[in-house]
Amino acid sequence: MGDSVTTNQPIEKRPRKQVEYNIILCSGPSCLHNKSSELYTEIVKQLEAFNCQSKVEIILSGCLGMCARGPIMVINPGYILYGDVGVNDVHDIIKGHIVDKTPFSQKVIHEDHLFNRFYRVFGDVKFFGKQMRIALRNCGIIDPEKIDDYLSVRGYEALAKVLTDYSPAEVIHQIQDSGLRGRGGAGFPTGLKWKLTADAEGEVKYVICNADEGDPGAFMDRSAIEGDPHSIIEGMLIGGYAVGAKKGFLYIRAEYPLAIKRLEKALTAAREQNFLGDNILGSNYSFDIEIRLGAGAFVCGEETALIQSIEGERGMPRPRPPYPSVRGLFDKPTLTNNVETWANIPVIILDGAKWFSTIGTKSSKGTKVFAVAGNVENTGLVEVPMGTTLREIIFDICGGIPGNRKFKALQTGGPSGGCLTEDSLDTQVDYESLAKAGSFMGSGGMIVMDDTTCMVNVARYFLEFTQNESCGKCTPCREGTKRMLEILTRITDGRGEVKDIEKLERLGAMISKASLCGLGRSAPNPVLSTLSKFRNEYEDHILHKKCTTGSCQAMLTYSINDQCIGCGACIRVCPVNAIKGIKRNPHTIDSELCIKCGECMKVCKFRAIDRV
């Protein structure tokens, strides 16, 4: 969903954005110290002097990590980086870059340093201006099938640094200090997980990359692998070194053939260069990675089910403890992290935990990738610093709701998450804030819904998904979700009963408590959250047999109003002969017979058919 949508709408017809450039001014502590606030005033002054303030937007950013060359300023489009910018340079830069359209070369920094960390924004200021790319730093920039391209952007340097300068314990310290948390859904502190695995007893240990990505609408991990497979391999190599593993597994769903092909190619190239194999880069660290294909069952993304699947068993979760970090794959201590989590590792090692921990909020550091789909102008993949608000993502980056419709709700966290309404739009993206607002960070799926969406139907859709994907091992999930789905289907079919809301709440609470794994425990979330935020829609469906958005077909009633001239067009198309009437006299629809197909409405030239 979302990622492969082609629109036929030509670009020229899109409303033209006013802003043509943005200037990103680093306001990290060091640049501030170097007077970036005076620069700000000067930039405003010069823009006014050249009368171009209306086409330029100034963005103050957090530390861009190039303190030695500060103050730093970036101008987009073009991702042209200016360093050591003095107040006296501003005139030349603005005149050169924005008025004459040629970058002011004396102050341009040519090193590729930042390219390793941030996305080069080629035009497209609105979409990329507020993004910050760490996990996806190379996606869309390098050729993913050429290891040379990866090497040229400091690829495998983090691995080399670790092997040269760090003990495994020091690596774990770095990851702990960075504040990185798992990007696969639960947000468990990554460094702690590494430490638990490293401390576990045993000679043999394993590392796993979870690339199962089962949330409907999510495609972050696929893009990350397809765009930059070596970053993930390098992350796993560093993880293996830190916990003392010699072997890694990359568990990826078979539905991602291109990603698999690129991974295989990357693994082969990495072996040729001795990044994988024995005595890597002359050290005494040996490690290799094997790809394992999943068949696309959602539950196999759950850590313990995934482990069983790699072992060749049926993918079913098992109770914890023992935790996989103590007893996991083949009963050995096992470290599992998500694709995006792995992709962050090399950057943390190269640029330091300290730098990484300056990005984001108090409890959530770094960035998060979201796959934004649904009713937004620009569907796409965005990576934003933690702390960015949902409003910024939906309206600033993704361009808002198309067709002059109104925003209604946002579903984050996929089938395990909840929906958020207008009044939560200023929630900052971080694990705690989203949970507090009643949703869930999840792996990064984001579905935007406008006011034509029926929330009961949405809840039914997600529950149908989890019901299908329930592995059947525990009763609360297997039977409970089935009963909930029956009730929801009944409600959307117009056969809802007064007690249904209460039943849904009771079942939901029970399933959340009693299920074995996260799939069951979170399955009721979409229902419970829509119930709490859109209870009136449930009541309309049940008590008044009415779906205000007109989405639930079964509940619509068609009738003929006094605009009818009795032409008979509707009578001819009605497939069930539900319309009666004499020529030139108003017709009527027998609502008992009507199957609500809407054909009559399509052919009526006099707007005489009402649908409520």
Partner 1 sequence: MKNPLEIIKVKRAEAINRILGRGYFSTKRVYVGMATCEIAAGSADVMEIFQTAIKNGLVDVYLSQKGCAGRCNLEPTVEVIEEGKIPVKYGLVDAGRAHEIIERHLKKGEVIEEWVIQ
Can residue 332 be called a binding residue for partner 1 (CB under 8 A)? no
H-helix or E-strand containing 22? strand 21-26
Q: Is 192 in the site for ligand FMN (CB under 6 A)?
A: no
Q: How far is the CB of 310 from ligand FMN (least distance, A)?
A: 13
Q: What is the largest CA-CA distance in the chain?
A: 93
Sole binder of ligand FMN in the list 302, 383, 392, 500 (CB under 6 A): 302
- Among residues 169, 254, 281, 612, which is the contact residue for partner 1, using CB under 8 A? 281
Contacts to partner 1 from residues 53-92, by CB under 8 A: 77-80
Alpha-carbon span 135 to 157, nearest angstrom: 16
Residues 52-91 that bind ligand FMN (CB under 6 A): none
Q: Name which of 525, 519, 552 is nearest 440 in CA terms.
A: 525
Q: Is 326 in the site for ligand FMN (CB under 6 A)?
A: no
Let me know: does 148 contact 156? Beta carbons within 8 Å. no
Interface characters, 479-518, with ligand FMN (x: CB under 6 A): --------------------------------------xx
Print the binding letters for residues 212-251 with ligand FMN: x by CB under 6 A, - otherwise: xxx-------------------------------------
Q: Are 88 and 38 in contact (CB under 8 A)?
A: no
Among 117, 126, 183, 541, interactor with ligand FMN by CB under 6 A: 183
Binding mask 353-392 for ligand FMN (x = CB under 6 A): ----------------------------------------
Measured from the CB atom, the residue of 211 and 528 that comes closer to partner 1 is 211
Q: Measured between alpha carbons, how far is 514 from 507 in angstroms, rounded to an integer?
A: 10
Residue 156 touches which of partner 1, ligand FMN, none (CB < 5 to 8 A by kind)? partner 1
- Specify the stretch interacting with partner 1 by CB under 8 A; choose among 225-233, 417-425, 523-531, 566-574: 225-233
Take residue 288 and report the two structure tokens written for it.
Answer: 């290799």
Exposed / middle / buried, residue 597 (Cβ in 10 Å: 0-12, 13-18, 19+): middle
- Gap between the Cα atoms of 14 and 245, Å rounded: 52
Burial annotation 94-114 (CB, 10 A radius, 16+ → b, else e): bbbbbeeeebbeebebeeebb
- Decide: is 138 part of the binding site for ligand FMN (CB under 6 A): no
> How many CB atoms neighbour CB 139 within 10 A?
21
Task: Indicate which of partner 1, ligand FMN, none lies near residue 379 (CB less than 5 to 8 Å, by partner kind).
Answer: partner 1
Region 417-456 residues binding ligand FMN, contact defined as CB under 6 A: 443
Rounded Cα gap, residues 477 and 523, in angstroms = 8
Burial letters for 418-451: b for 16+ Cβ neighbours within 10 Å, e otherwise? bbbbeebbebbbbbebbeebbbbbbbbbbbbbbe
Residue 412 binds which entry of partner 1, ligand FMN, none, CB below 5-8 Å type-dependent:
none
Residues that bind ligand FMN (CB under 6 A): 182-186, 188, 210, 212-214, 298-299, 301-303, 336-338, 341, 443, 517-519
